Chains A and B, each alone.
Chain A
Amino acid sequence: MLMVQLPALQIVLPLMGAPVCALLRRSSLSWLTAFAVSAVSVAIAGLLLAEVWTAGPISYAMGGWAAPWGIGYRVDALNAGLLLLVSALATVVVAFARDSIDRELNGDRLHLFYAMFLLCLTGLMGITITADAFNLFVFLEISSLATYTLISLGRDRRALTASYQYLVMGSLGATFILIGIGLLYMMTGTLNMADLAARLPGLEGTRTIKVAFAFFTVGVSLKLALFPLHGWLPDAYAYAPSPVSAFIAATATKVAIYVLLRFFFSIFGAAFSYRIMPLGAVLLLLSLLAMFVASFVAIFQTNVKRLLAYSSVAQIGYIILGLSLGTVAGVTAGIIHILNHALIKGALFLALGSVFYRLGSVRLEAMEGLAKRMPWTMAAFVLGGLSLIGVPLTTGFVSKWYLVSAVIQRGWWPVAVLILLSSLLALVYVWRVVEVAYFGEPGEHLSTVGEAPVSLLVPTWLLVGANIYFGSHATWTWELAHRAALSLFGGGP
């Protein structure tokens, strides 16, 4: 009986956990609640994925109201995989936050931090699981509002301006999405995704649908920080508390890309998105610019968190490049990189969180010779960095491999060369950190600095281990992504 209710529990559990955290007021108890809720979410997501894997997509009617009247949830290979990813990263980050967040927040606000964290998790998983376009907007705003709050908690006062900037840009994006959904409702009279997909084909030529598509694309692109709409991202990642940077870098933009996939393929349909609208060309151009401009800017950063933030903009470019191909192979590569990049950036930001825990800074000059004092933390950073560059036996290599072969399959040789060239830029910015940490002499301020505590190293190395594991056992990721891509193109389960 409980098995049938799993899709609802996936959302209700963290939603209920948030006020519990806020009411408990003791930081240790609210941490325990947040950790338990995230861990159970992983179990639920795992069960959902197992069921989808064997029995096909699951549809769930909230409150027993069937689809056109009630809000439906729908789980298929794509969002089951994403649910598992988001909840697993939330669990790892909460485990990391127990000791690290003390240093970045005032002690009397810790329970509120965990409440906001669970609300953010609720929103992200809600966006992923829902089958109703308006419900998606509501969950998007829940996760966004929680994210703005989480970012503003950072110690540096620039966290406040970063959060404000994100709030303005994010609300603008969300309102664009709302306009798009409104225009779709105007033409079809439904908000259910399956009904939308069924009713749109007859209306493809109308200007309203084209305008809806444009508003929607721009709005979601703001949310996923597609170049040149990424202005809010570097500051937000740089000044947020470390666990928050790790969590939103690994999940928030990925969920926004999921929204893009869901609307482009499941609702508007690939034929409309790529033939009637010039989506492929636009995305290709923007993703190539993101790969080069953002990577180039990353090279000149002195704050390592901001360096990784620009690198995220570039990596989002790789994912979008996969989508711009408009082929099953391209979308598969995009989905693979969604999963892999979450693991890579999660590991890197957690390693930086340990650095911040010991040094109180993540500026390059403060990290001079740090590898001698914190060998395990910096080793985790190096392995994460290698994965980011795309060295064989890491997840980054798997992503690049499928992306390059998808591009070649489409016959775009110059683009394949550009992907490899931009990887060299990643090598440069990762090397800058490695050079300072490994070949510099530790300064006076490092004389008392020791290795990060085990409670921080374990979550970090868990993600690093996942990078290595999924780098050498790529079939599982590929199988999941391929199934998801096939179902997006309407060819599979």
Chain B
Amino acid sequence: MHLLGLYNYWVVIFLQMLGFYTLIARGNLVKKLVGLTIFQTSVFILFISMGKVSGGTAPIIAPGFHVYSNPLPSVLILTAIVVGIATVALGLALVVRIKEAYGTVEEDELYGRDERD
């Protein structure tokens, strides 16, 4: 039961490894960025999970409710999502420029071309 009760953390670890593996194993620069995004998203879920208080509601003061979830991790993650978007946007912009300069976005082909320069 204990293991199942922590299922959100299992999801986090699964996504983390999935993203990390994609980042390392894939040679396509766009797919690498997808892996990076999944990796970052897993951390967002980690933060949001830790803000949950059992039995707590959304942190809005209302009569009849005394237990609230911690809003701070969610707020932090809003910032981290913005950072993540900026990173991926910049990464994709670089991929576009690399495609223009080399005519490919496959890592092994890029490597081969630079050796000849």
A residues near B, CB below 8 A?
134, 137-138, 141, 145, 148-149, 152, 157-158, 160-161, 163-164, 167-168, 171-172, 174-175, 178-179, 182, 185-186
Contacts and interface: CB of A to CB of B under 8 A. Distances in A.
B14 interface: no
What class of interface size applies to chain B in its complex with A? Answer: 20 to 34
Most buried by A among B40, B83, B91, B94: B94
B95 A141 contact: no
Contacts of A178: 43, 80
A167 B46 contact: no
A171 B50 contact: no
A180 B102 CA distance: 38
B23 A148 contact: no
A179 B36 contact: no
Contact of A172 (B39, B79, B94, B110): B39
Contacts of B117: 158
A274 to B, nearest CB: 28
B90 A148 contact: yes
The 9 closest A-B pairs by CB, nearest first: A157-B101, A141-B83, A164-B94, A186-B50, A160-B98, A171-B87, A160-B97, A182-B47, A167-B91
A145 B90 contact: yes
B27 interface: no
A449 B47 CA distance: 58
Nearest to B47: A182
A178 B98 CA distance: 29
A141 B36 CA distance: 15
Chain A facing B: main interface SS: helix
B50 A172 contact: no
Most buried by B among A141, A152, A168, A174: A168
Interface string B77-91: 001100100110011
B101 A160 contact: yes
A161 B110 contact: yes
Contacts, number: 66
Contacts of A172: 23, 36, 39
Given A152-B94, A160-B101, 13 more contacts: A138-B79, A145-B90, A158-B117, A164-B29, A164-B91, A167-B94, A168-B36, A168-B91, A171-B36, A171-B87, A175-B39, A179-B43, A185-B50
A160 B93 CA distance: 10
Contacts of B102: 157
Chain B facing A: main interface SS: helix
A158 B117 CA distance: 10
A185 B36 CA distance: 23
Contact of B86 (A137, A145, A152, A179): A145
16 contacts: A134-B76, A134-B79, A137-B80, A141-B86, A145-B90, A148-B94, A152-B97, A157-B102, A158-B114, A158-B117, A164-B95, A164-B98, A167-B90, A175-B43, A178-B43, A182-B47
Nearest to B32: A168
Interface of B: 23, 29, 32-33, 36, 39-40, 43, 46-47, 50, 73, 76, 79-80, 83, 86-87, 90-91, 94-95, 97-98, 101-102, 110, 114, 117
B95 to A, nearest CB: 7
A186 B110 CA distance: 42
B36 A161 contact: no
Contacts of B43: 175, 178-179, 182
A109 B114 CA distance: 26
A149 B101 contact: no
Contacts of A137: 80
Nearest to B80: A178
B46 A182 contact: yes
A182 B16 CA distance: 15
A148 B94 CA distance: 9
Contact of A145 (B33, B36, B87, B101): B87
A163 B94 contact: yes
A145 B86 CA distance: 8
A298 B86 CA distance: 34
Contacts of A167: 87, 90-91, 94
Most buried by B among A134, A167, A175: A175
A171 B79 contact: no
A175 B40 contact: yes
A203 to B, nearest CB: 15
B71 to A, nearest CB: 13
Nearest to B91: A167
Contacts of B29: 164
A168 B23 CA distance: 8
A149 B36 CA distance: 18
A160 B94 contact: yes
Contacts of A141: 83, 86-87
A94 B113 CA distance: 34
Nearest to A152: B94
A161 B87 contact: no
B116 to A, nearest CB: 12
A161 B79 CA distance: 27
A161 B90 contact: no
Contacts of A182: 43, 46-47, 50, 73
A149 B86 CA distance: 12
B107 to A, nearest CB: 9
A18 to B, nearest CB: 14
Nearest to A187: B50
A302 to B, nearest CB: 13
A215 to B, nearest CB: 10
